[in-house]
Structures are given as C-alpha cells and as structure tokens.
Amino acid sequence: MRIPFVAGNWKMNTTVTEAEQLIFEMLEKLDRIEGVEKVLCPPFVSLVAVNMMLRGSSIKLGAQNMYFETAGAYTGEISPLMLRELCEFVILGHSERRWYFGETDEIVNKKVKVALTNKLKPILCVGERLAENEAGKTEEVVNRQVTAALNGAEPVSNLVVAYEPVWAIGTGKAASGEQAAATIQFIRDVLAKLWNKSIAQNLRILYGGSVTRANIAEFISHPEIDGALVGGASLKAEEFASIVEQTAEIKGRIK
Ligand code: 13P
C-alpha cells in the first residue's frame, strides 16, 4: 500500500521571516492531517529555521536542489552532507533546473545517485515540454528522463517520482486527471522494466503542475496518482492545507 504524498515546492519565494510566518500559519492544521506524507521544500536559507519549527511535528522537510559532490571547491553549491542534517527529501531534476540552469539528464543522474548514497530521498521530476506534448512525444520524453536519471542506481523504495508536464507548471493549465494518470501508469511500467515490478508497485508517483484546492480531487481520485507536488498553491497556508486534507479524505475512501 502506497502512502499518499503531498509536497510543497516553494521555489524562490519567501525570505526567512516570511518562511517562518508561513510555517506558523500552516503548522497546526497540517500536523493534524493523518494518512498523508507531508513535505515542505522551502529555499535553502530557510531550512535551518523551518527544521526547528517542524521538530516534533508530522511534517517533513525537503530541499529544492543539491550538488552532486559531497564537499570541495564548488563555490555557491550545497552538498548532500549539508542537507541530510536538515532534511529527508530533495527535489531533483525539476524542469526549472533543467531549462533555466542547463541541467542535463547526466547531471540529474549524478545527483540522484549521490542523494541515495547519502540517505536523502530524491523527489525526481520529469515531464515533457509543450512542443513535445503536441508532437505526441510525452512517453518518449519521460521514458528517457526516468531511464537516464536512474542509470546505474540500485533499486530503492525511497525514491519519489513527480510527473510535471512543463506546460502545466505555473500556467494555470493543469493536465486532466486522465492524462496525468495515463502518463503516471506509463512511468510505473518504465520503472518496473528498469528495476522490478514489486519496487515499481511501491514507489509513489505524483502529479505536479497548477495543482490547486479546486482541482486536486481530479488527480488523486485516480488510483495511479499517489499525490501532488504543489508550487504556487503551497505558498498559501489555507489552500495547501485544503489540498492535503482532500488528499487524505479521498485516498482514505478509495483505499
Ligand atoms: P505550480 O503548482 O505553481 O504550477 O508549480 C508546480 C511545480 O513546479 C512544483 O514543483
């Protein structure tokens, strides 16, 4: 049985003060929701403060990126050793990293392997761009991204995959529940071939891209979709709590 999973990716938003305020606003409500793994991914500079605020709660912490070396002369980079003192998860291969910062499949692969060997749980993001979608290449693209990212990695159950079609991120144009469920099932089949069926069956695969309190039900009512990676809507305490609440309620019902 896969435990539903909802993560908030705050991206490059919130100062430390604002991050503390946002945690203050959502902590109690989120903490009480059972049956969903809840993860918040604030910017690096807020990880220490948020880590302290989340102690003793049921909410877990994640980072948004990481370098693939553990230490050394890499000015400005953050290592898995630094992160693992503070958080359990790390988002890797987000499309904004791939397209704005030139992260290739090879770089994502190095990061995934280093995260796993350092006991950080990757939230691996994959997804096609608009032109690829329109050309019918969605499966080809996600197959390539998943296969490349996991190349040489030992099969593990502490990987989370997020299917985030690039055209749906921050655009208000979410995929339909059916589209997302079909691609997520395809990703699970790719994982079954790459690793094995029983591990693939146990991995959580999320949908991400313009998820809101108004459309979350459409996604998580599909048994293939184990939860959501939420961007903009995770910056609003009420809305994010509602997304997690609906996930708990709907997944609890279809269990
Ligand atoms: P939005 O929810 O703002 O579309 O962002 C999705 C995302 O990229 C989460 O990682």
Per-residue pLDDT of 121-178, as tens digits, reads 999 999 999 999 999 999 999 999 999 999 999 999 999 999 999 999 999 999 999 9
Of the candidates 208, 222, 219, the residue with the CA atom closest to the CA atom of residue 8: 208
Is residue 6 lining ligand 1, measured as CB closer than 6 Å?
A: no
174 is a domain residue: yes
Residue 248 lies in a domain: no
Cα 233 to averaged position of ligand 1 atoms, centre (Å): 8
Q: Which of 10, 11, 100 to mutate to test the pocket of ligand 1 (most atoms within 8 A of CB)?
A: 11
Per-residue confidence (pLDDT) for residue 254, from 0 to 100: 80
Residue 237 CA, chain-centre distance (Å), reads 18
Report yes or no on 89 lying in a domain.
Answer: yes
User: Residue 76 contacts by C-beta under 8 Å, 6 or more apart in sequence?
Assistant: none
Q: Flag whether 253 is in a domain.
A: no
Q: What is the CATH number of the domain that holds 68?
A: 3.20.20.70
Query: Which residue range(s) make up the domain with 52?
Result: 5-237
Indicate the pTM of the whole model.
Answer: 0.98
Catalytic member of 37, 96, 128, 164: 164
The 10s digit of each residue's pLDDT in 195-212 is: 999 999 999 999 999 999
Is residue 32 domain-resident?
A: yes
Residue 254 lies in a domain: no
In a domain, 255, yes or no: no
Domain count, the chain: 1
**Per the domain annotation, does 247 fall within a domain?**
no
